[in-house]
Structure 1
Amino acid sequence: MEKIKYPVYDYIKFIWKKKLLLIGFTILCMVIGAALSYIKPTVYTSTALVFTGNGNNEKLSKPRLITDTYKDELPEDLSGSLDVKIAEPFQITLSLSGSDKKTVESNTKKVAEQYTNDLIERFNVQFEVQKNYKNSLEGALKKTEEAISEYNQLIQEASDEYKLLHYNEVLFNKEETAEKYRSDLNEAEYDLALAETPELMDVTTNQSSNNLLRNALLAGAFGFQLMLVLLVLWKYIINARRALSQRQ
């Protein structure tokens, strides 16, 4: 009668016999992972939060365009780490990372201030244009209202039916124009009231953690899996040699 074989059980039994080797190698890898955590240099990340204001500026509101514009202003070893993100509506963060805390902080502040100043310059131009537009609307509305008053007077004094009809038609057009000016003026005043100047809100610096526990666990998991594969391969080689010797 042919002997029943249980290959999976045979492999598990072999691995169990070598459990000390498996555990020992796993612990060794965990120790190595923990040691490497202390060797890894500390990285400092400085982040500036900028309120962009509510002006319209396509070039200074797109992260990719902001990066391309300001990275050349930074030292070569930091320019590649410039990271620009939209934190929230009207909020942009600019981050730099490096091994020297003072250098990272100073350059982050420098590029954030330059970015903020460019935003303010653009905002002031738009604000001035909007203010001039409001003033123009006020002037146009005043002239139109004066014209309306004049035509009301002419209508009261007119005796000719043709002139009366003409004055009424002109007056109707002037009143429509005045209404449009009032609507545009209200909108312009509303926009000016809501205008907010860009501002550098804050600059913070964080230090990278050595992730001791995380690195030790990852190294241990890697070591366990590697030794498991090696033990399975070891048992396979033993079985293969035994099978060859039995054939001979």
Structure 2
Amino acid sequence: MDEQKYPVYDYVKFIWNKKLWLVVAAILFMIAGAAFSFTRTTNYTSTALVFTGTGNNEFLSKPNLIESRYEKEFQGKFNGSLNVRIKEPYQIELSSTDTDKNRLESDVTMIAEKYYNDMNERYDVQYGLLEKQVKTIKEKIESIEQSLDTYGDLASKEADEDLNYTDIGTLIKRYEALPRYEEELLEAEYDLELMEKPDLVEVTTTASSNNLLRNMLLGGGLGLQLMLVILVFWKYVLNARRAESQE
């Protein structure tokens, strides 16, 4: 009876007998992965966090528009790539990456300060307009109240002949408008009270990880796979030679 053959078992047995080769290959590639980690150039990421305040500025609240504007404005002074994202409501994060830590911090701080100043200018304009609105409404209310006081004084002296129907109609309209102006004043004063100025919160710089553990594991895995392929090919060559010699 012909000898029964188990090719898969034959390959597994051969690889198991050569398991030390797999271990050595994995260790060598892990060492190579570690060496690669330590020879990589360190990259730094500098991040500036800016509180935009409650001033409304549609152009300076969209990341892609901010990136385009300040990259053009600082062209020649800033050679990196500016990344902008909305971290939280009213918080803009400006960041960039470079191998030179000092240069990177200087560049990101420069852009962040410019962005903060632009937001602050916008805030001052809006705050001033809101203050002017409050002042104008107060003056209207004071004018109406003075008119009503004057009419009351005349009425108390029974001097109705000094007022004509036009004056009375005007006073009635002003009296009816008074609650509306008082409501507008309350809303404007509330908005003014809630206004918050922009603030450059912080600028932080972190070094990128050399990924030592990840590179060692990847190297070990690559070494195992490569040696496994070599052992399978080795076994295949041995089987081919044996078969050729038996012909």
Q: Structure 2 length normalisation: TM-score?
A: 0.83
* SS state at 1:192 partner: helix
User: Is the contact made by 1:94 and 1:108 (CA closer than 8 Å) also made in structure 2?
Assistant: yes
TM alignment of 1:217-236, pairs within 5 A? 217-236=217-236
TM alignment of 1:30-45, pairs within 5 A? 30-45=30-45
* SS state at 2:61 partner: coil
CA distance in structure 2 between the partners assigned to 1:115 and 1:225 by the alignment: 52
* SS state at 2:144 partner: helix
Offset, 1:149: 4.4
Distance 1:41 1:105, change over 3 A: same
Offset, 1:237: 5.3
TM alignment of 1:90-169, pairs within 5 A? 90-149=90-149, 167=168
Q: Which sections of structure 1, spanning at least 5 residues, go unmatched?
A: none
- Name the counterpart of 1:179: 179
Distance 1:131 1:97, change over 3 A: same
CA distance in structure 1 between the partners assigned to 2:121 and 2:84 by the alignment: 20
Offset, 1:110: 0.8
- Name the counterpart of 2:49: 49
Offset, 1:238: 4.9
User: Is the contact made by 1:116 and 1:198 (CA closer than 8 Å) also made in structure 2?
Assistant: yes
The percent identity for this pair of structures is 46
CA distance in structure 1 between the partners assigned to 2:148 and 2:140 by the alignment: 12
User: Is the contact made by 1:78 and 1:98 (CA closer than 8 Å) also made in structure 2?
Assistant: no
Distance 1:137 1:32, change over 3 A: same
* SS state at 1:79 partner: coil
What RMSD in Å do the two structures reach over aligned CA positions? Answer: 3.2
- Name the counterpart of 2:203: 203
Offset, 1:84: 1.4
CA distance in structure 1 between the partners assigned to 2:10 and 2:149 by the alignment: 108
- Name the counterpart of 1:22: 22
User: Is the contact made by 2:78 and 2:107 (CA closer than 8 Å) also made in structure 1?
Assistant: no
Task: Count residues in correspondence.
Answer: 242
CA shift digits 1:163-209 (9 cap, x unpaired): 69x958962x4344221211111111111111111111111111223
Offset, 1:136: 1.4
* SS state at 2:58 partner: coil
Distance 1:215 1:76, change over 3 A: farther
Q: Structure 1 length normalisation: TM-score?
A: 0.83
Offset, 1:78: 3.6
Distance 1:29 1:141, change over 3 A: same
Distance 1:179 1:246, change over 3 A: farther
Partner AA of 2:132 in structure 1: N
CA distance in structure 2 between the partners assigned to 1:218 and 1:77 by the alignment: 36
User: Is the contact made by 2:45 and 2:207 (CA closer than 8 Å) also made in structure 1?
Assistant: yes
Distance 1:144 1:6, change over 3 A: farther
Distance 1:184 1:234, change over 3 A: farther
- Name the counterpart of 2:80: 79
* SS state at 1:49 partner: strand
